[in-house]
Structure 1
Amino acid sequence: MAKQLDYHTLREIFTRFQAADAAPKGELDHVNVYTLVVAVALSAQATDAGVNKATKALFQIADTPQKMLDLGEEQVIEHIKTIGLYRNKAKNVIKLSRILVEQYGGEVPCSRAALESLPGVGRKTANVVLNMWWRHPAQAVDTHIFRVGNRSGIAPGKDVDAVERAIEDHIPVDFQLHAHHWLILHGRYHCKARKPQCPTCIIRDLCQFEDKTQ
């Protein structure tokens, strides 16, 4: 684990990220906040591309909690069976849809606690929804952010909660809104797990990763 980088280094890193991509976006397709919740919940242990392929037809016919309930669990399974853990995920989609209809009038709540109470929705999913839909500076730490944070020193931590706190505590406030997207995309396309693209990395000179590739 690298040591926590100082404020000025972090500001330079995120200034470079911002210059390269001023408004980074999540890669999960959705048409409203409800389909965003479903897409993020389905993305656990699956790729965004795989989820998008599975939900394209699903969201055309079920883009509200009530429509999803009307569709039923077996039809949800048929649409998402190419995604890992699809049976359990289909159960959760139906359960969370029923809760939204019965307890929230079919609307998705905008509080982290309420979101986390939904089946299949954990802190990471809640943070993604809060950030992408309501533009809260919430930090959704996935495997990419955990890896980048610890390799580089941007946000080191022993677990995802510690990395989340490190981002919130150390990254300059004006970069907080897009921070997790910059880090996810950097981890997905540049600071890869098996073969990081260090020679072409825009923060190579600031990163503390000792095993940089040549």
Structure 2
Amino acid sequence: MQASKLLKAIRAIRGMVKGLDLPVVSRLASRKDPYLVLISCILSLRTKDKVSSLAADRLFQVADSPQKMIRLTSQRISQLIYPVGFYRNKAKVIKNISHKIVEEFGGAVPGTQKELL
């Protein structure tokens, strides 16, 4: 493809996607906080992006670190993330993952997939 056609195509694509809402994970990835990205990924599974985004915002206003998250009950996390799909199960998973991150990794999300899983 010629460079001029490629540039034209790139501009056209940028114009088409401008103004579209970013998925919650992409939006939070710009903050460079692996914990927020991890929790956002959990929320986004089987849930529309708009619902996930609003739920993540509500949750992170109350608890934006694993240390803060473990102070919440699973029921409170459920209330904050409702109506994401499987919100009760996800609340328990978020609580358990947060405990593990605090207890086993000193509050920092592990840097390798092997440690994380």
Normalised TM-score (structure 1): 0.43
Instruction: Note the C-alpha offset of 1:16.
Output: 4.2
- AA of the residue aligned to 1:68: M
Q: Which runs of 5+ in 2 are unaligned?
A: none
Q: Quick check: 2:78–2:88 contact (8 Å CA) kept in 1?
A: yes
Corresponding residue number in structure 1 for 2:99 = 98
CA distance in 1, matches of 2:10, 2:41: 24
SS class of match (1:35): helix
SS class of match (1:70): coil
CA distance in 2, matches of 1:61, 1:35: 13
Q: Which runs of 4+ in 1 moved over 4 A?
A: 15-19
Corresponding residue number in structure 2 for 1:212 = none
CA pair 18-112 structure 1, distance change in 2 beyond 3 A: farther
CA distance in 1, matches of 2:113, 2:66: 19
Instruction: Note the C-alpha offset of 1:113.
Output: 2.1
Structure number with the higher helix fraction is 2
Pick aligned residue for 2:13 from 20, 41, 45: 20
CA distance in 1, matches of 2:105, 2:9: 41
Instruction: Note the C-alpha offset of 1:47.
Output: 1.1
Q: Quick check: 2:47–2:85 contact (8 Å CA) kept in 1?
A: yes
Q: What is the RMSD computed on CA atoms of the aligned residues? A: 2.6
- AA of the residue aligned to 1:27: P
Q: Which runs of 5+ in 1 are unaligned?
A: 1-7, 118-214
SS class of match (1:46): coil
Corresponding residue number in structure 2 for 1:113 = 114
Instruction: Note the C-alpha offset of 1:48.
Output: 1.4
Corresponding residue number in structure 2 for 1:87 = 88
Instruction: Note the C-alpha offset of 1:102.
Output: 0.7
- AA of the residue aligned to 2:104: Q
Structure ID, larger Rg: 1
Instruction: Note the C-alpha offset of 1:112.
Output: 2.1
Instruction: Note the C-alpha offset of 1:57.
Output: 1.9
Instruction: Note the C-alpha offset of 1:33.
Output: 1.9
CA pair 95-111 structure 1, distance change in 2 beyond 3 A: same
Query: Once the two structures are superposed, what CA deviation does each residue of 1:21-58 show, in whole Å capped at 9, x if it has no partner?
Result: 4xx99521435221111011111100111011112121
SS class of match (1:71): coil
CA pair 17-37 structure 1, distance change in 2 beyond 3 A: farther
Instruction: Note the C-alpha offset of 1:17.
Output: 5.1
CA distance in 1, matches of 2:80, 2:11: 37
SS class of match (2:71): helix
Q: Quick check: 2:58–2:81 contact (8 Å CA) kept in 1?
A: no
CA distance in 1, matches of 2:10, 2:79: 40
- AA of the residue aligned to 1:20: I
SS class of match (2:96): helix
